[in-house]
Structure 1
Amino acid sequence: MIPHDSIVALATPSGAGAIAVIRISGQDAITIGNSVFKSINNKELTTQKTHTLHLGHIMDDSKTLDQVLVSIFKGPNSYTGENTIEISCHGSTYIQQQIIQLLLRKGCRMADPGEFTLRAFLNGKLDLSQAEAVADLITSDNEASHQIAMQQMRGGFSNEIAKLREELLNFASLIELELDFAEEDVEFADRTQFHELLNRIEFVLKRLIDSFAVGNVIKNGIPVAIVGEPNVGKSTLLNALLNEERAIVSEIAGTTRDTIEDELVIGGIGFRFIDTAGIRETEDLVESIGIRKTFEKIEQAQVVAFLFDSSEFKVSGLKLKVELEKIKNQFPLKPLIIIGNKADKLKEIEIKNLKSEIPEILLISAKEKLGVEDLKNRLLSFVNTGALRNNETIVTNTRHYDSLLKALEEITKVKYGLETNLSSDLMALDIKEALYQFGMITGQVTNDELLGNIFANFCIGK
């Protein structure tokens, strides 16, 4: 059931600022706004055109609370599809609270988290995947996640799903029609065309499912574990990457006792760097706990950056190779960058020998910040940004990913049934389940629990 009461919330971040925006939406939003607003030209908000701005004062009886600018959006031509006004007031927290409390007394209620976007969904202004993209857009903190959220909010993903669902629905209708004429033994659905459609749906679903591997790390940041023996410059490298003194640097081996994390945007992609405790045999209980956590962080990372002191390669080269093999064997599927630090201390012949021994090595000097840009480029090479450049649909939402997997499973069943001449009634059941999973993504199929879970994660004013 679509609510019609009027809700109010602060649409800008809480706290003091130059300007704050208070949003009201609902059937009586403009009437309520008019009851507290006195225009400098004595205009009545209720008689003004949609998408207009009006200067005046918010009045609590004879008391003036603030000079404001009021925006009017009449339904259905508004974000929520309802009558909506936005009050731009001065950013004092006192003024914000005074205006909101006044509006509550006039008949509004405080909006729940995400309730404005929920109403936009219920009123058909957005489908469910677009509504979820609104939350992703608000939380996007790099170019790539912003681009994906914008593409989904414009309906790129939902349009692709809706088209597949519509075509499948048409064939489902023909299959159902065959069931009504079962005694006549007729076929209304062209099996050859149906098989082609299923192949096309299967191809698209697999592409979308595969895109989640890229989309998920872009949305949440790509975790990179910086590992190696103590005192090889892991903390110095982290500081060089971040261009700030984030980690403690010391000549004492084992200084980093715990993992340190920070984020950096490289080429529009977010990376989460994890500076771990040095890997070595130790009797120190606290340090050994840190080393155990290091391996846990490697397990969680998408990329492993193994750092060693290149100036000590002559002495510790054999031990280094053993450590590298250990990581490769334990984590065979993780991209591994082998980084030789302190390369500024090497002679030309030593550099040549190192590259001969370890062809894939990347030589840097974290202290002098030499080779750091090469490392950033190497990290970017592990990210498939081709889909972003080509503006392809990328799945970032775990709920969508789950529904796509289930839809693909049902399509596979339908395809098998078609190839083995399964009866139409059994095939129709699998088609219905696939349609259900498509509908779960876009919101044609939904329930209060699902909506509650999705919109509970929104900010109050959105």
Structure 2
Amino acid sequence: MRSHDPIIAIATAPGRGGIGIVRISGNSLQPLLARLFSMELKARHAHYLPFEDNEGKVIDAGIALYFPGPNSYTGEDVLELQGHGGPAVLRRLLAHCLQTGRDLGLRHAEPGEFTQRAFLNERLDLAQAEAVADLIDASSEAAARSAMASLSGDFSNRINALAERIIRLRMLVEATLDFPEEEIDFLEKYQAREGLAAIRHDVQALCAQARQGMILRDGLHVVLAGQPNVGKSSLLNALAGDDIAIVTPIAGTTRDKVIQQIHIEGVPLHIVDTAGLRETEDAVESIGIARTWGEIEKADLIAHLHDARLPNDALDSAITGRLPARTPILQVFNKIDLLEDAARAQLLSSAAESIGISAKTGEGLDVLRARLLAIAGWNPGAESPWLARARHLDALTNTESHLQAADEHASRNDQVLDLFAEELRLAHEQLSAITGQFTSDDLLGEIFSSFCIGK
């Protein structure tokens, strides 16, 4: 991205709407403002006026807002033209602005370029910039609240506070490196290991919250797997509260995956109904079964459905043997409504690591929902106050690893301060990467390219 060019984009979502916004940002928009309007725009005042083309014909009438930098979203001069939300109107207004400012370097904004400029101009740190996209994409109230907390700086403040504590410890270490005979005394005198242990404890707590935040942001990919006619489609419909998948008594009705997003306690779950697993010579069904195994390999969690009337079925045992060991698996016995009371009681009492349900009557579904979240690591009583991404969790995990290595060097007392200091430096870099103080250009490009155009 060429960060010196003025940029423009439609900032509202595609389609018809009551209001549409065209946003412009640049280091100095005064020359462009003079061409677009016959009057001078007062900073941070709403001006209702006609938007005219170069021939004086009115394109639309709306509100112009001018925010001089650095007190704007991007830290540059920002102009917002708020008119009617018709696609044709917005395209005409966009084209007129581009034509008017072409010789000034005005160009279309790339995805996420407005927010990237806010980051580069230190209006937001990287974690806050990512929270902008997360707030837009939030699929539940809980996710929206947590994204807003991240955008407000709650997560960044926690990271920065930990970084400051590591810096203070590094300063003590660096100041002592010139006096090697005092290394052991330093660790004891300044209680360096105790301070390190306290930092490690808080990093571990932050990791736990980050895992919660990542689940809340990304959701869980839950695959319903099992042989044909065990009730996978019925369970999907019951969880979704709607007739999403076709249900018939005929085995093999589902030939391809059906995906439905649901929310449990604000956590998004992507439930995938799949083709029944069995040996078949049907070419179409074979393709569906192959796709089922592909979905199983990608799953965050597998719900292996069984017919409760056949708890020791040989095909079920074969399927269990092929399921990936690295993925959490919940054994679910469906159709318990068809069991006699004694058989039902025996099944439920003997299946400590499984659960009995009836997708038809709804019995056991609340327990199933709670178990799905628990197996995935979600703790309802410890909801993350902010969203987190996989890279945040990776950085925190790496931080803990470096702090652990520092503690091990300190306990051995061999050339301790050099190695101790190096591990602290690496831990500090990992934390700083979260907020963007140490971040590669490639990572920035990957992060901001996922934003929508106009943001």
TM range, smaller chain = 0.7 to 0.9
Cα distance per residue 1:6-37 (max 9 Å; x no partner): 22111111233221111112232355235313
Pair 1:408-2:400 in alignment: yes
> Retained in 2: the 8 A contact 1:2–1:123?
no
Cα distance per residue 1:176-223 (max 9 Å; x no partner): 333456699897787543222211222222233344544333322212
SS in 2 for 1:252: coil
Distance in 1, matches of 2:410 and 2:307, equals 62
Match of 2:263 in 1: 265
Letter in 1 for 2:206: L
Pair 1:81-2:75 in alignment: yes
Distance in 2, matches of 1:155 and 1:7, equals 27
Aligned-residue offset at 1:455: 1.2
SS in 1 for 2:46: strand
Structure 1: runs of 5 or more not aligned: none
Match of 1:160 in 2: 158
Letter in 1 for 2:300: Q
Letter in 2 for 1:340: N
Distance in 2, matches of 1:224 and 1:358, equals 21
> Retained in 2: the 8 A contact 1:26–1:84?
yes
Cα distance per residue 1:256-307 (max 9 Å; x no partner): 2232222112221111111122233434454345345434434433333333
Match of 2:333 in 1: 339
Match of 2:431 in 1: 438
SS in 2 for 1:318: coil
Pair 1:25-2:25 in alignment: yes
SS in 2 for 1:246: coil
Aligned-residue offset at 1:335: 4.3
Pairs aligned (count):
448
Letter in 2 for 1:83: D
Aligned-residue offset at 1:88: 0.6
Pair 1:326-2:320 in alignment: yes
Q: Percent identity among equivalent residues?
A: 37
Pair 1:174-2:172 in alignment: yes
Letter in 2 for 1:436: E
Q: 1:66 aligns with which of 31, 54, 60?
A: 60
> Retained in 1: the 8 A contact 2:154–2:386?
no
Which aligned pairs between 1:326-405 and structure 2 lie closer than 5 A?
A: 326=320, 331=325, 334-341=328-335, 343=337, 345-346=338-339, 348-349=341-342, 351-356=344-349, 358=351, 361-366=355-360, 372-373=365-366, 375-382=368-375, 385-386=378-379, 390=382, 392=384, 396-405=388-397
Structure 2-normalised TM-score? 0.86
SS in 2 for 1:17: coil
Structure 1-normalised TM-score? 0.84
Match of 1:90 in 2: 84
Match of 2:137 in 1: 139
Match of 2:40 in 1: 44
Distance in 1, matches of 2:135 and 2:156, equals 16
Aligned-residue offset at 1:437: 1.7
> Retained in 2: the 8 A contact 1:178–1:187?
no
Which aligned pairs between 1:210-221 and structure 2 lie closer than 5 A?
A: 210-221=208-219
> Retained in 2: the 8 A contact 1:9–1:460?
yes
Give the root-mean-square deviation of aligned CA atoms: 3.3
Letter in 1 for 2:277: I
Aligned-residue offset at 1:456: 1.6
Distance in 2, matches of 1:185 and 1:390, equals 41
